[in-house]
């Protein structure tokens, strides 16, 4: 069964009908990708020069923008070019807000919008450590930014000017991933997570859930046999298309593609319609004494 849930909307500003809204929230919380093949984020002709990967700072994989403290990180462009790029990314942030409200209105009062990212460089062939290699199947978890169970919802748009698709692999359901890797994971040393936070090595306290998720992320990427043999599906996200997915739930790998805009949104478990489907509840259930 495909992990893709299709929607034919062509407009960022129009709400889905009630049936499609129900279908969307059920699908995304069950670990599906909401795909809008006809929903494009257009760049003005005057903005196309911003697609040049040379605007990316050396060593950076993306340019980030935070509407709460409007500034660019990871870009080398200055003056008018920086202003144009910031305006483009802020427009994508606004469009993403509207899309989430119109597709998933159930979340409206609980979403917290975070960073907007632009990835102008080709991902295929990028040299990095295995833990940072996003061409390997993984679920999102980050060593310095524990989320303590908060969901990671992302909106992506492929803005390739030459029709290049974004190629993903999507792996097995999260519960299957957790059952495979949790038995390999030891509990953290007593006091270690407290020390990480007190020393400033994590931005917030790393809960036991965060520990398990980070270890699952790392072990997935380190296991090359798993990368080859796990049940998985190849997906091509066409140029001028958009998709939404909870990346802490869906096992995914970005294999190739260029010119991607991304918006990150955080959602507390209490804001979900089916909280029992969250990775937090699944890990909790699988690690609880029987």
For position 213, what pLDDT does the model report? 98
- Label residue 277 by pLDDT band (50, 70, 90): very high
Mean of pLDDT values over 82-103: 96
d(CA 117, CA 73): 9
3-class secondary-structure state, position 37: coil
- Label residue 127 by pLDDT band (50, 70, 90): confident
For position 221, what pLDDT does the model report? 98
Domains in the chain, number: 1
CA distances from 116 to 24, 96, 156, 162 (A): 22, 10, 10, 23
pLDDT digits (tens, 9 = 90+) for 19-34: 999 999 999 999 999 9
The C-alpha angle with vertex 252 and arms to 250 and 256, in degrees rounded to 5, equals: 150
Mean predicted lDDT score pLDDT of the chain: 95
Q: Domain of 204?
A: 4-287
Q: What CATH number does the domain containing 282 carry? A: 2.60.120
pLDDT at 65 over 80: yes
pLDDT digits (tens, 9 = 90+) for 221-264: 999 999 999 999 999 999 999 999 999 999 999 999 999 999 99
pLDDT digits (tens, 9 = 90+) for 254-267: 999 999 999 999 99
Tokens read off for 166: 């974004």
For position 140, what pLDDT does the model report? 97
For position 290, what pLDDT does the model report? 67
Mean of pLDDT values over 170-186: 97
For position 177, what pLDDT does the model report? 98
What letters, b where the CB count within 10 A reaches 16 and e where it falls short, cover 109-119?
eebebbbbbbb
For position 142, what pLDDT does the model report? 94
DSSP H helices in the chain: 18-29, 79-103, 174-181, 192-198, 208-222, 224-229, 279-287
d(CA 146, CA 150): 9
Tokens read off for 171: 């792996």
Number of helices (H), then strands (E), belonging to the chain: the values are 7, 11
- The answer to whether 163 and 223 have CB atoms below 8 angstroms apart is no
pLDDT at 104 over 70: yes
């Amino acid at each position: 069964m495909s992990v893709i849930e299709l929607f034919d909307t062509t407009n960022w500003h129009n709400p889905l009908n009630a049936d499609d809204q129900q279908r969307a929230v059920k699908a995304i919380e069950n670990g599906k990708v909401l795909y809008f093949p006809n929903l494009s984020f257009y760049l003005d002709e005057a903005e196309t020069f911003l697609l040049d990967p040379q605007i990316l700072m050396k060593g950076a994989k993306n340019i980030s923008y935070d509407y709460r403290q409007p500034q660019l990180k990871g870009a080398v462009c200055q003056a008018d070019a920086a202003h144009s790029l910031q305006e483009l990314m802020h427009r994508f942030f606004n469009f993403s807000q509207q899309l989430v409200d119109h597709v998933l209105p159930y979340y409206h009062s609980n979403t917290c919008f975070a960073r907007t990212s632009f990835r102008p460089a080709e991902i295929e062939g990028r040299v990095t450590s295995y833990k940072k290699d996003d061409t390997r199947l993984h679920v999102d978890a980050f060593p310095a930014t524990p989320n303590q169970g908060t969901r990671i919802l992302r909106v992506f748009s492929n803005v390739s000017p030459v029709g290049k698709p974004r190629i993903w692999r999507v792996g097995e359901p999260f519960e299957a991933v957790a059952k495979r890797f949790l038995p390999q994971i030891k509990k953290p040393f007593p006091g270690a997570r407290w020390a990480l936070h007190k020393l400033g090595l994590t931005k917030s306290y790393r809960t036991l859930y965060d520990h398990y998720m980070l270890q699952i992320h790392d072990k997935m990427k380190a296991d090359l046999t798993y990368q080859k043999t796990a049940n998985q599906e190849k997906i091509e996200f066409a140029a001028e298309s958009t998709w939404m997915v909870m990346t802490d739930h869906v096992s995914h790998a970005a294999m190739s593609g260029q010119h991607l805009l991304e918006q990150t949104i955080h959602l507390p478990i209490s804001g979900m319609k089916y909280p029992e489907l969250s990775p937090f509840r699944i890990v909790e259930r699988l690690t609880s004494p029987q």
